[in-house]
Amino acid sequence: MKLVRFGGGHVGILQDGLIYDATIALGFDPEAWPPVGMVQLIKNFNAFRSKLESAMKSPGIPLGETRLEAPILWPNKLIAYPVNYVEHGQERNVALRADVNGFFLKANSSLSGPQDPIILPDLPDREIHHECELAIIIGKTSRHLGVREALSCVFGYTCLIDVTVRGKEDRVMRKSYDTFCPIGPALATADEVGDPRNLEMKLWVNEELRQHANTRDIILDVPNMISMASSVTTLYPGDIIASGTPAGVGLIKPGDQVTIEIERVGRMTVLVEQGTGGDNLAIRKAPARS
């Protein structure tokens, strides 16, 4: 099943180019704040399954007649792993590795959807790069998971573009600008995706293929990422874990179209636009390249 948020906070199922609105059947208020409808659906999925199936009996909305939004907008946390492909570490000339340095947190407010643009901060002396990643969506409250049982807590997956300002500041700040974490287009449930340890991943800028890898080449695989994170912090339904990016990261600029595609998960294209602001004391003090 592929789940979506659309049309101002509605929740539905995407199938064969049609969206089936399940918002009323689930008893969700699309205007509720905070926007946690999808998180509630993930936590109570088995109880809600019959209501979802009932919603699919109603007429569907053609995908082109509504606006897709970030599948999850209000997770408890957004976890990310640095340098999880050997060749990416080599291209960036860094000694960091996911299996050695562990994870970091990226601001939840950086999340945006498949039809939202990436808004670049006004930092003319800095390069801003794309990173192609798999997003792992947690389905149940979990702590101290062993590697063998780790996949049992996964609800599903979605595509994730980790946008990064290059520099010497802490990576959390450089990766946390608003719109720096597009996800979507849908949340594909784990049964639909199968084994996450063998997925083709690609990213294009305009029509140029920049990144192409398979999750089998990852340093710290999905079960190990989940196990490591859960050894430190309780994982909650709706939490997002970003897998780390393969080699091929590169510059994005206003006017670009960035397309990500992950086998059995989905494909989305987002535009890049120039914004204003974003400068601060740390940016001004730190070296421009990293």
Domain boundary among 41, 69, 97: 69
Q: Residue 154 falls within a domain, yes or no?
A: yes
For residue 143, tell me if it sits in a domain: yes
| Residue 290 lies inside a defined structural domain of this protein | no
Q: Looking at the domain assignment, is residue 289 inside a domain?
A: no
Residue 284 binned pLDDT confidence (cut-offs 50, 70, 90): confident
Residue at which a domain ends, from 69, 101, 117: 69
Whether 247 and 229 share a structural domain? yes
pLDDT attached to residue 81: 96
Give strand pairing partners of 270: 258
Task: Please report which residue ranges of 182-276 form alpha helices under DSSP H.
Answer: 190-193, 222-232
Alpha-carbon torsion 116, 73, 75, 282, what sign? Answer: positive
State the total domains in the chain.
2
Is 187:137 a contact under the CB 8 Å cutoff? Answer: yes
Instruction: Please say which residue of 45, 69, 93 terminates a domain.
Output: 69
Report the pLDDT value the prediction gives residue 285, as an integer from 0 to 100: 83
pLDDT over threshold 80, residue 286: no
Q: State whether 152 and 215 are in the same domain.
A: yes
Please report the pLDDT score of residue 93 as a whole number: 75
- pLDDT higher than threshold 70 for residue 218: yes
Instruction: Using pLDDT thresholds of 50, 70 and 90, give the confidence band for residue 287.
Output: low
pLDDT over 70 percentage in the chain: 99
Give the per-residue pLDDT at 120: 98
Mean pLDDT of 101-110: 96
Answer whether residue 87 is part of any domain.
yes
Q: Scan for tokens 């948020």, then name that residue.
A: 5
Q: Are residues 82 and 56 in the same domain?
A: no
Do 160 and 37 belong together in one domain? no
Residues 122 and 21 in one domain: no
Q: Are residues 152 and 242 in the same domain?
A: yes
- Convert the pLDDT of each residue in 5-24 to its tens digit: 999 999 999 999 999 999 99
Q: Is the pLDDT of residue 289 over 60?
A: no
Domain co-membership, 118 together with 209: yes
Residue 287 lies in a domain: no
Element housing 116 (H / E): none
Residue 217 C-alpha from the chain's centroid = 19
Q: What is the pLDDT of residues 48-87, one digit of tens each?
A: 999 999 999 999 999 999 999 999 999 999 999 998 988 8
Token pair for 2 = 């592929």
Q: Is residue 286 part of a domain?
A: no
243, 162 Cβ separation under 8 angstroms: no
- CATH number at 139 reads 3.90.850.10
Model confidence at 290: pLDDT above 80:
no
**Residue 89 binned pLDDT confidence (cut-offs 50, 70, 90):** confident
Q: CA–CA separation, 155 vs 191, rounded Å?
A: 9
Same domain, 51 and 156: no
The residue with tokens 């180019």 is 17
Any domain includes 40: yes
Do 23 and 124 have their domain in common? Answer: no
> Do 185 and 207 fall into the same domain?
yes
Tell me, yes or no, whether 22 and 156 share the same domain.
no
Domain housing 185: 78-278
Residue with tokens 């060749």: 87
Q: Are residues 52 and 191 in the same domain?
A: no
**Short-list 63, 253, 200, 226, CA closest to 140:** 226
